[in-house]
Amino acid sequence: MQKENRKDKNGALGRYGLIVTLLMLFAVMIIFSAARIVFTTEGKKWREVGEKETVIRDRVILPKRGNIYTYDGRLLATTEPLYSIYMDFWADGMEKDTLAKYVGDLAVALSKKFPDRSAAQYKNLIMSGWKMREKEERQRREYEARGSDKKVSVRSRYVKILRRDISYVDLKEIRTFPFWNQRSNRSGLIAEERNARKKPFGNLATRTVGNVFKDLEKGGASGLELKYDSLLSGVPGVKFRQKIQGKWMDVVEKPAEEGWDIVTTLDADIQDIAERSLRDKLVETEAESGTAIVMEVQSGEIKGIVNLDRLSNGDYAEGNPNAFSYMNEPGSTFKTVTAMVALDDGVVTPTDSFYVGNGLFQYNKRWVRDHYWRRGQNRGYLTVAEGIAISSNVVMSKIVLKGYENNPTKYVEGIDRIGLRKQLKWDVPLHGIEGTSSIRFPNDKTNYWSKTTLPWMSFGYETKIPPIYMLMFYNGIANGGNMIKPFIAKRFVKDGKVLKEMEAEVVNPMMCKDTTLKQIQEMLVDVVEEGTAKVVDSDYFPIAGKTGTAQIASGGGYSDYYVSFCGYFPADKPMYTIFVGLRKPKGVPSGGGMAGMVFKNIAEQTYVRKVQLTVADCKTDSILQKNPVLKNGNWKQSQTLLTLLHYPANEPGKGIDWVKMTQDSLVYHSSAIALSKSLIPDVRGMGARDAVYLLEKMGLRTNLTGAGKVISQSFTPGQKLIKGTTITITLQ
């Protein structure tokens, strides 16, 4: 018995030993196989295969493009993520029965949120995607059954569901919709993110701010966006996608560096004033285009810049950078240059007189004409100062002929001395001759100098100067003879730290002698108070400036007009210099009556907003007791208030809900605000509640700034309304 037990025990030990031996051999084989995978070329091959299955390398992380701000921190351009919405009908967990059950509710929710398609259209689009998948599955099975190597082209992989890209807020909302409220592998919902450039103020200064290419990776296309693209665009990062526990996750290898922010010199309030004033005059005169630039005298900062071109439908919108690029003969605004050169050279004094007669003067068989020559009026002699005031071409011609007929080079050297022939680079990029003054020079082969060039140059012909140069020249007069280059980019900021601060470039610290400067300043005041710009004279402050009315060269002759006014205010303590130009206005052309009136409107509105009044200026009138001012808005609310206060008011008419309120000494007046489902409404003068209600009722998103009543809106009333667009309203 003991012998048998010992035999069984030895047998069991033998079997255990065999098992242990086999396990050890198996472990050695595993170690050997692992070593092969780690250390041989075959292992390298399998690692690459595995990595392809689980890792997608070297994917670019696009950096956030820098923002562009007004001088006081209001956003002019920013980057926001937008999402293109697709459905992946080959999603692993998508089931036909579940889709069919919820597609109707999903389609209804989509049609309410994005009404550019009906619920039926959304349902048809989604079910068509599923049917396409089923068709592709059948084709694949047929090919496999026949043993064919032919592949089925998958068209139902990603089907775009929404026509336009949506914001992150909208994305969060649609993820709560029926069927799409599941995980993406079941719902098939795919949101493809891309960066998009947004302008919260709409078209305000849009040509100057510029645009980016639709593909944001290509960077800036125009304006500040192009000029400072390398700073705004930032530095791309690198990431890879790795499959971890069945899910793809982004792993950042090198983070992207955001672009620098740009703080501009622009003032949104002044910009809005300039744009509205110019637009109103363009509409009134049916002009082809117009430009307005507002510059702070001492700093050189451009506070407002508007370039409006007429569209084919008659509307006006920001188009060409005419402030920098419009190359035209400036006309009479150039007479101030002639007077400065001649006075500085001692050719004339302000009291020297020249015979003008009836406003006709012939030189080398070519007639010089004053604007009054058809009237047959004999004005006899005019002094230099009077010639500037009434804008006499004859006086200017005789001044330059007296001093420079035998030496025209000296005249152009005088223009050089001022600095008007210097080539300058601007914040708005241009190409070719645009943005550089083109002033003829004797014996210059590139610009023909004729026998009559000298007198015609004296009053602004046979030379081309863009508006920005004329603004710079007149600002130099306002700035005590110190001519500085206008600029827009003020500072560059990164992570809240100022990396670079810009200051005005001095073009010429002293354009002329002090005595000459004082004489020119007095002449420009006379132009407004006694001369061709009397309509520009303001009751609130003195203005100095010069009108310009120039014919436009076309086809070897002249047709149409370019009217302008350039000056500064207040004349005794200059704060701002403004240039206004209108191209091809209809009616009798007038530098004062057309461009000058735009100048006056901009100047007075800017003065009211920017000048701090003293306590004495603000004291209450004890005699006149004024009725309360009512805001524009809902008529029923205004009517209730007026009834309670026992104030008389006339009603706007039956069925009218939204009104503008005005008053006189006797009664309140209400007039209907025109409303159209396809046009931006005018909410200026309304309170915040009425303005937001009306705008959002019409399908717009609203962004508020300030408190009080609406003084400006980022989209001009009457523009085409696009539902879902964000409109910014400023209250004060």
Q: What is the pLDDT of residues 11-35, one digit of tens each?
A: 666 677 777 777 787 777 777 776 6
pLDDT at 612: 59
Average pLDDT over residues 188-197: 83
Whether residue 432 has pLDDT greater than 50? yes
Q: Helices 335-344 and 408-418: crossing angle, nearest 10°?
A: 100
Whether residue 61 has pLDDT greater than 80? no
Please state, for a pLDDT cut of 90, what percent of the chain lies above it.
39
Whether residue 266 has pLDDT greater than 80? yes
Compute the distance between CA of residue 605 and CA of residue 582 in angstroms, rounded to an integer.
20
pLDDT at 658: 82
8 Å CB contact between 328 and 550: yes
- Among 320-334, 479-493, 653-667, 696-710, where is mean pLDDT lowest? 653-667
Mean pLDDT of the chain: 85
Average pLDDT over residues 535-556: 90
Token pair of 150, please? 């032919």
Whether residue 435 has pLDDT greater than 60? yes
Tens of pLDDT along 372-397? 888 878 889 999 999 999 999 999 99
pLDDT at 670: 81
- Among 88-102, 149-163, 465-479, 693-707, where is mean pLDDT lowest? 149-163
Phi then psi for residue 485, to 5 deg, are -80, 125
Average pLDDT over residues 266-286: 93
155: confidence class by pLDDT, cuts 50, 70, 90: low
Report which of 732, 263, 159, 251 is spatially closest to residue 490, judged by C-alpha positions: 263
624: confidence class by pLDDT, cuts 50, 70, 90: very low
pLDDT at 392: 93
Chain-centre distance for alpha carbon 473: 26
pLDDT at 5: 57
pLDDT at 204: 77
In this structure, the number of other CB atoms found within 10 A of the CB of residue 222 comes to: 18
Averaging pLDDT over each range in 143-147, 238-242, 243-247, which range is the top one?
143-147
Averaging pLDDT over each range in 38-47, 237-246, 357-366, 421-430, which range is the top one?
357-366
Q: Looking at this protein, which amino acid is placed at residue 14?
A: G
Whether residue 522 has pLDDT greater than 60? yes
Whether residue 451 has pLDDT greater than 90? no
Whether residue 161 has pLDDT greater than 60? yes
7 compared with 62, residue with greater pLDDT: 62
pLDDT at 706: 76
Compute the distance between CA of residue 284 and CA of residue 359 in angstroms, rounded to an integer.
31
pLDDT at 401: 95
Compute the distance between CA of residue 95 and CA of residue 270 in angstroms, rounded to an integer.
59
8 Å CB contact between 90 and 140: no
622: confidence class by pLDDT, cuts 50, 70, 90: very low
Whether residue 36 has pLDDT greater than 80? no
326 compared with 487, residue with greater pLDDT: 487
pLDDT at 264: 94
Largest CA-CA distance found in the chain, in angstroms, rounded: 157
pLDDT at 672: 83
690: confidence class by pLDDT, cuts 50, 70, 90: confident
Compute the distance between CA of residue 229 and CA of residue 221 in angstroms, rounded to an integer.
9
Average pLDDT over residues 323-346: 93
Whether residue 237 has pLDDT greater than 90? no
pLDDT at 206: 82
Whether residue 259 has pLDDT greater than 70? yes
Whether residue 143 has pLDDT greater than 80? no
Whether residue 413 has pLDDT greater than 80? yes
Element spanning 207, H or E: helix 206-209
Average pLDDT over residues 311-323: 88
- Among 308-312, 498-502, 718-722, where is mean pLDDT lowest? 718-722
pLDDT at 623: 44
- Among 278-292, 353-367, 670-684, where is mean pLDDT lowest? 670-684
8 Å CB contact between 684 and 632: yes
